[in-house]
Structure 1
Amino acid sequence: MKVNGEQSSEYRKNSVRGFLKETFNIIDDTDVNATIDDIKAGIPIKGQTAWVLIFSILIASAGLNTSSTAVVIGAMLISPLMGPIMGMGLSLGINDVFLLRKAVKNFAIMVALSLITSFLYFSIPVFQHETPELIARTGPDVRDVIIAFAGGLALIIAFSRRSKAITTISGVAIATALMPPLCTAGFGLATGKWHFFRGAMFLFSINTIFIATATFTIVRFLKFPFEHYLDSKRKKVISNVIYVSAFVILVPSVFFFYKLYKQTDFNQTISHFIQDQKENKGVLIFDIDKDYSKKEISFAIIGNKIDDKDLNGLKILLSQKGYDNVKINIVKNYQESEGNKKLNEDEKILLTSQKIANNQYPIAAVFEDISKEIHALDTNIVEVSYGRILKSNFNMIDTIPTFYIQWREESVDVEEKNDKIQNWLRVKTENQKLRVEAVK
């Protein structure tokens, strides 16, 4: 019985092992020579490929400019961005320095054409307003790295199959990581907003490194044959060049991943704290600036005060996560300002607001200051107007102070944003009758 039990246990192990091998094995269905030929064929950016690249970047720029995800995805479906980057990963994996040189050259052509195309598009004045889709590509976080690496793995595995049925679809994952940052960099160049250009190019560079790393990883896992050289000395020199190149790519990728993970964790910790203060403590928070490199947080608050206990709890939590000596800058809580003898500009505006609430003089007297503060709350606001509406129920007449806000056409959640500004203005002016309405 014991023998039979051991045989049964061994049978189950073999069955599980066989199931896992059948499910996840990619070696048996790999066509090495065809994969190398396909990747090499996709490296050159010339002729039809160059024009397809230009048009796909143009479409993607328009999609980002209108915050249309569908249009951006459409551009990704036809984008040939993957060729040179996969070529770099392949050349490192098979020790082919000539292929590496060719891939780097075409990669430079690809970047230049993309930047020029997006630059020309965003040079047209009517296309120069910032959109959420553009702003989202001004800096990387750890999720961008995961998208790039997973996209690179998916594409090289799809390329290695004997059947190429899903290669084009897998290429969309590559374009997801590359096209939006390049278009955003072109936007930064066209508008002179260098923080857009720097952030987007950094994001593009990070994604490029991880896509190439993914290709290199699978090429070595599948044991693609190394390139042979007749001259042994030349072979040694080329091997050294390849190893140095691989080191230069792989080591920074690990460093960047760790750094971006810590930055994302830092930002999310702050965001969760701010969200908790807004939802559970009734604190209105705006002008949020999180600087991971300087370990500094800045934001302004209106309405309820943030308790010292909550701030100390945030500092302790950040310290436990390895972010020591974080500096938290908070604009003076407006509710604490009234009793101070020396008033700063914000406090003067507060007292003016209180006078408004008590009808000591009209909002028109400080309309310029209030409108600037409203614009600081959301830069998607195009115009602010103010008027007093007379309302009658046929028994009495009431006067309703009303702000009219015009939003950019691509703005989302306008009703929710209007409500937030209305709540802020009611707290600021201590007038619960005040209303905020959106206008076209």
Structure 2
Amino acid sequence: MLKNFKNVFNLHEGEDDREKTLESIVKNISFKGANLWILACAIIVASVGLNVNSTAVVIGAMLISPLMGPIVGAGFALGIYDFKLLKRSLRNLANATIVGLVVSTTYFALSPFKDVQSELLARTSPTIYDILIAFFGGIVGAIAVTRTEKGNPIPGVAIATALMPPLCTAGYGLATGQWTFFFGAIYLYTINCVFIGISTFLIIKYLKYPAKKQVDEKQQKQVRVIITILIIAMLVPSSYLAYSLYQEQQFKKNTELFIEKEFTSKGLTVIYKKTVFEPTKKKLELAFLSKIFTESEITRLDSTLSRNKFLRGTNLIIRQDTTDRFLALRGDIMNQIKSSENELSQKDIKIVQLEKKLSQFSYDNSKILKEVHTVFPEITSLSISHNEMKNLTDSIIVVTAVLYDAKEPLKGKELEKFKNYLNQRLSVKNIEIYKKQNPISKK
């Protein structure tokens, strides 16, 4: 049983030759030739995608970015204790980072579009979830590079563990002087780099790659201490940011519930709402269309807020200016609402009248034909229409015209019987009956 369990999680099956794996990793560390061109293009593509807020372009930049190379190389070098390769990987990663910052900063400095877009904002507040993505994405990437067949994981890892977008976002922060953007994006970039490297290190140790050089217990301990410090340095701030994000989401959710319960459900119209959530300050500012709150009502609302753990400490501000200017404005708004309601009511009445009139002028020809055919089997088709005719004296004559088809036209008593039947059936007194004339065929 234990043997079968081990076989399920066996990573040695399908593993590529270790010398080839090392050669491939070393090849992807350096930024020269094709790698340098790809890096430069990826920086521009990512910057443009962030600038125009295009998710597809940003994803494209993630896929073509070669930044994974030196990060995986650093983790691999640490796993086999090849400190020369580690220094080379870190040096190339630092160079690529500096180039990325310089190019993206230059681009955003020259770009006429400097508005903050959602794609930029998404890279400025990393949380512990970004660490989980980087760590497990890095594990997948490390496993993939050690396989004979690389398969689809590599592009997926490039998208999940985004490296180029946060680096270019940091460039945007430098170009516009928004330091919160710069530090947030650089922190996310660092998280991705560190945890992809740590994931690679763990996979290499798990696969028991032979050490490049023998190191004593003291050096191994130093490596473990450095990795532990890096993990803690990344975890603590990101955990705090994740908790802050959770608190903010709960604050917004409970604010909406509070407004719904205390105001909207009671028929009060909120015409202005502003919420502020900061670590040291929470504020809810409201204004209403017609309600003026007393001091005792505001005290009760404050008490209700304090009983909710997510809203506790929120400063409730209700704007209720009682000056003549405000009262006049409020009166105008109420008059506009009433005017709109009256206009809608008039339109509803007009629609009902038109529908009623339309129903008077229309008949269900199919249903009436079935009834007529039962009494007058010779009639095979029928059309009834209600018409208003004007004469020269401007008086209106209402005529109900009936057009029927039969092999022989109705005559005498049959025609009179048919006319009386329709007058009774349709509740009219002005039936005019016409026989359909069959067209003469041309030979």
Q: Same fold (TM over 0.5)?
A: yes
Tell me the distance in 2 between the aligned counterparts of 1:284 and 1:33.
69
Distance 1:254 1:119, change over 3 A: closer
Q: Which residue number corresponds to residue 247 of structure 1? A: 228
Quick check: 1:150 aligned with 2:131?
A: no
Quick check: 1:357 aligned with 2:326?
A: no
The counterpart of 1:39, out of the listed 12, 20, 25, is 25
Q: Which residue number corresponds to residue 68 of structure 1? A: 54
Quick check: 1:223 aligned with 2:199?
A: no
Distance 1:37 1:171, change over 3 A: farther
- Map 1:142-291; keep pairs closer than 5 Å: 142-173=128-159, 176-229=161-214, 239=220, 242-277=223-258, 282=264, 287-291=274-278
Query: Is residue 63–residue 159 contact of structure 2 (8 Å, CA) maintained in 1?
Result: no
Distance 1:121 1:25, change over 3 A: same
User: What letter corresponds to residue 307 of structure 2 in structure 1?
Assistant: G
Q: Which residue number corresponds to residue 426 of structure 1? A: none
**Cα shift at 1:299:** 4.2
**Cα shift at 1:359:** 5.3
Q: Which residue number corresponds to residue 283 of structure 2? A: 298
Query: Is residue 59–residue 159 contact of structure 2 (8 Å, CA) maintained in 1?
Result: no
**Cα shift at 1:187:** 0.7
Tell me the distance in 2 between the aligned counterparts of 1:116 and 1:300.
42
**Cα shift at 1:201:** 1.2
The counterpart of 2:308, out of the listed 302, 307, 314, is 314
Tell me the distance in 1 between the aligned counterparts of 2:114 and 2:8.
49
- Please report the TM-score for the alignment, with normalisation by the length of structure 2: 0.64
User: What letter corresponds to residue 307 of structure 1 in structure 2?
Assistant: L
The alignment yields a C-alpha RMSD, in angstroms, of 3.5
Quick check: 1:114 aligned with 2:100?
A: yes
**Cα shift at 1:245:** 2.9
Query: Is residue 43–residue 103 contact of structure 2 (8 Å, CA) maintained in 1?
Result: yes
Distance 1:177 1:329, change over 3 A: farther
Query: Is residue 64–residue 131 contact of structure 1 (8 Å, CA) maintained in 2?
Result: yes
Greater shift, 135-144 or 299-308, is seen at 299-308
Aligned residues: 324
Quick check: 1:87 aligned with 2:73?
A: yes
Specify the SS of the correspondent of 1:307: helix
Deviations 1:227-263 (A, max 9, x none): 215xx7xx67754653443233233244345334423
Query: Is residue 30–residue 92 contact of structure 2 (8 Å, CA) maintained in 1?
Result: yes
Tell me the distance in 2 between the aligned counterparts of 1:48 and 1:298.
54
**Cα shift at 1:115:** 0.9
**Cα shift at 1:155:** 0.7
Query: Is residue 144–residue 153 contact of structure 2 (8 Å, CA) maintained in 1?
Result: yes
User: What letter corresponds to residue 178 of structure 2 in structure 1?
Assistant: K
**Cα shift at 1:133:** 1.2
- Please report the TM-score for the alignment, with normalisation by the length of structure 1: 0.64
Tell me the distance in 2 between the aligned counterparts of 1:327 and 1:213.
41
- Map 1:399-418; keep pairs closer than 5 Å: none
**Cα shift at 1:334:** 1.5
Contiguous gaps of at least 5 residues in structure 1 = 1-13, 319-325, 339-347, 361-391, 396-440
Query: Is residue 274–residue 285 contact of structure 1 (8 Å, CA) maintained in 2?
Result: no
Q: Which residue number corresponds to residue 59 of structure 1? A: 45
Tell me the distance in 1 between the aligned counterparts of 2:44 and 2:90.
23
Tell me the distance in 1 between the aligned counterparts of 2:113 and 2:244.
31
Tell me the distance in 2 between the aligned counterparts of 1:49 and 1:279.
56
Specify the SS of the correspondent of 1:50: helix
Specify the SS of the correspondent of 2:314: strand
Quick check: 1:48 aligned with 2:18?
A: no
Tell me the distance in 2 between the aligned counterparts of 1:287 and 1:46.
52
Distance 1:359 1:255, change over 3 A: closer
Query: Is residue 118–residue 186 contact of structure 1 (8 Å, CA) maintained in 2?
Result: yes
Contiguous gaps of at least 5 residues in structure 2 = 265-269, 292-297, 334-342, 347-443
Query: Is residue 88–residue 99 contact of structure 1 (8 Å, CA) maintained in 2?
Result: yes
**Cα shift at 1:287:** 4.7
Q: Which residue number corresponds to residue 112 of structure 2? A: 126
Q: Which residue number corresponds to residue 321 of structure 1? A: none
Query: Is residue 39–residue 86 contact of structure 1 (8 Å, CA) maintained in 2?
Result: yes
Greater shift, 20-29 or 37-46, is seen at 20-29
